[in-house]
Amino acid sequence: MSTKPSGSPDAFATRVRERRELSRRRFLKSGAVAAFTAASWSRVLGANERIGVGSIGVGLMGRIHLRNLHAQSDARVVAVAETYRPRLDAAAELTGGAATKYGDFRRLLEDKAVDAVVVATPDHWHALVTMMACAAGKDVYVEKPLTLFVREGRWMVDVARRFKRVVQVGTQQRSGPHYQEARRLIQDGRLGKLVSAQCNFFRNVTPGFGNPPDCSPPPDLDYNMWLGPAPLRAYNPNRALASLLRHVHAVFQN
């Protein structure tokens, strides 16, 4: 078993590979292997060792996961899906051009080379894409937040169980060993009686978000697909691509 934080994409790949190994063992015991030639069986073994991953959404977090998975020996990024064409092209380049590009994630879910998907879309897509991926027979690593409302989470659990899929949420800062140790110290009373807690967060992205007016979406963005299940609203840079776009493009170039 992997000792890496249980919320990380590499730990997710390990869990999927371990389940596939169990399935392979059951397959061997069934005697069905006799139907394979030596060459075809070799291809099956090779496929079993590396998980075909499809990346859905390749903005900031999606790009980070894409790079990490591409560097793993037990996974191969075989497909990417993104509604903004420049990001889609840049993501494919990160894989050395080996990944199939899709403007519509539903086509990626139909791809037989994809064993598992990473869902790094805007938040309002997380639950629906996860459930559709499970129904398509794919295992899922989905970014936080998992849901927008509580019942949505119950639907996701029900679908994952119905289709017997591995689903993992990207909450690395909840499953890392240092957080588990902090929890143990608190529960053991090592810190004494806690009377208050303070948390601060800010993101200062130059030149700032500003307050741009609504306008037409960029020609390279499939805005209707980006909206998906969200209410229909006019395009605004701060709603979709935002000023983070410049930051992401800069990172892609490095």
Q: Decide: 247 and 60 in contact? Cβ < 8 Å.
A: yes
Per-residue pLDDT of the chain (254 residues; tens, 9 = 90+): 344 555 666 667 667 766 666 555 554 454 444 444 444 444 444 555 789 999 999 988 899 999 988 888 889 999 999 999 999 999 999 999 999 999 999 999 999 999 999 999 999 999 999 999 999 999 999 999 999 999 999 999 999 999 999 999 987 677 678 888 988 998 999 989 888 888 877 766 666 677 889 999 999 999 999 999 999 999 998 888 764 454 444 444 44
The strand pairing partners of 119, in sequence order, are 56, 142
Which residues, in sequence order, are CB contacts of 58 under 8 Å at separation 6+?
66, 80, 82, 87, 88, 90, 91, 120
Residue 135: phi and psi, rounded to 5, are -65, -25
**What pTM did the predictor assign?**
0.73
The beta-strand segments (E) located in 128-210 are 139-143, 167-170
Q: Decide: 50 and 187 in contact? Cβ < 8 Å.
A: no
Cα separation of 127 and 131, whole Å?
6
The strand pairing partners of 56, in sequence order, are 81, 119
Predicted local confidence at residue 29, as pLDDT:
52
C-alpha distances (whole Å) from 11 to each of 1, 5, 6, 18, 181 are 9, 7, 6, 11, 19
